Amino acid sequence: MQDAAVTEQMRLDYNADIQGVIDATYYNAEILFQDNYTATMANLDNAVDNLVAATAVLMEVQAVANMAANADTVQEQMAFQTILSNNDMTISAADVSSYNSALGAVQTYARDAGAFLAASRNANMTGSVDNYAANTGASLYGATVAYSATADIMAVSMGQTYSIGLQGLLGANAVTLADVYAAGYGS
């Protein structure tokens, strides 16, 4: 029966383990920024698909221009006229809007993916966010992150109460497009 007794050391070890779980950080700024990079890359994939589809519609312009350039004789010009009469080769305002929107989305998502990747690799930035979360008792799990390229500000919001904005920390940690794709998204 003596072996079944709880010793003082066992109690201390147990309580230390409990405190270890309480004090542990399971989700930190590096993971937060990496998760945002991954989500932004998924959005970038969709934006590229949309851009390819919108570009295909606008490729009719090139086809029409080639046909017009090659219509040298009267017969070719009349054949070209017939093609245009029988096939709608016009481009709508919606086509242009879809293309421009997709192009803007690719630009935004590529820029933001690079910013989130750079932030995840920036020890000053992740340390500042982790310290702020620890000092305020806020959890980074479920936090939102936004990047403003014009002001070079990374804003992290933890619920409705706590937020931190970090400006000018990414300049020295810029990543290239090759870095963004080499980071392992989708592999």
Q: Which of 45, 48, 44, 66 is nearest to 56 (CA)?
A: 48
Tokens 């096939």 found at: 87
Q: Does some domain include residue 8?
A: no
Give the angle subtended at the CA of 73 by the CAs of 71 and 77, to the nearest 5°: 50
CA distance 79 to 75: 6
List, for residues 25-69, the tens digit of each pLDDT value.
Answer: 778 999 999 999 999 999 999 999 999 999 988 888 888 888 888
Quick one: pLDDT band at residue 81, thresholds 50, 70, 90?
confident
Q: What average pLDDT does the chain have?
A: 86
Query: Does 112 reside within a domain?
Result: yes
Answer yes or no: is 64 within a domain: yes
Reading the block at residue 127, the tokens are 């340390």
**Range of the structural domain that residue 127 is part of:** 28-182
**Distance between CA atoms of residues 2 and 180, nearest Å:** 61
The β-bridge partners of 167 are 153
Q: What is the pLDDT of residue 187?
A: 45
Number of domains in the chain: 1
With 0.85 as the threshold, say if the pTM is over it: no
Q: Two tokens at 160? A: 């409705």
3-state secondary structure of 49: helix
16 located within any domain: no
Burial grade of 157 (CB within 10 A; 0-12, 13-18, 19 or more) = middle
Looking up tokens 């109690």 gives 11
Task: For residue 157, give the H/E element and its range.
Answer: strand 153-158
In-domain check, residue 15:
no
For the CA atoms of 86, 92, 96, 99, what is the dihedral angle to 10 degrees? Answer: -60
Q: What is the CA radius of gyration of the chain?
A: 28
**Model confidence at 154: pLDDT above 70:** yes
Asked whether residue 157 is domain-assigned, the answer is yes
Q: What is the pLDDT of residues 109-120, one digit of tens each?
A: 999 998 999 999
In a domain, 87, yes or no: yes
Residue 19 lies in a domain: no
Q: What is the mean pLDDT of residues 5-28?
A: 83
Element (H, E) at 113: helix 93-120
Q: Mean pLDDT, to the nearest integer, of 105-128?
A: 92
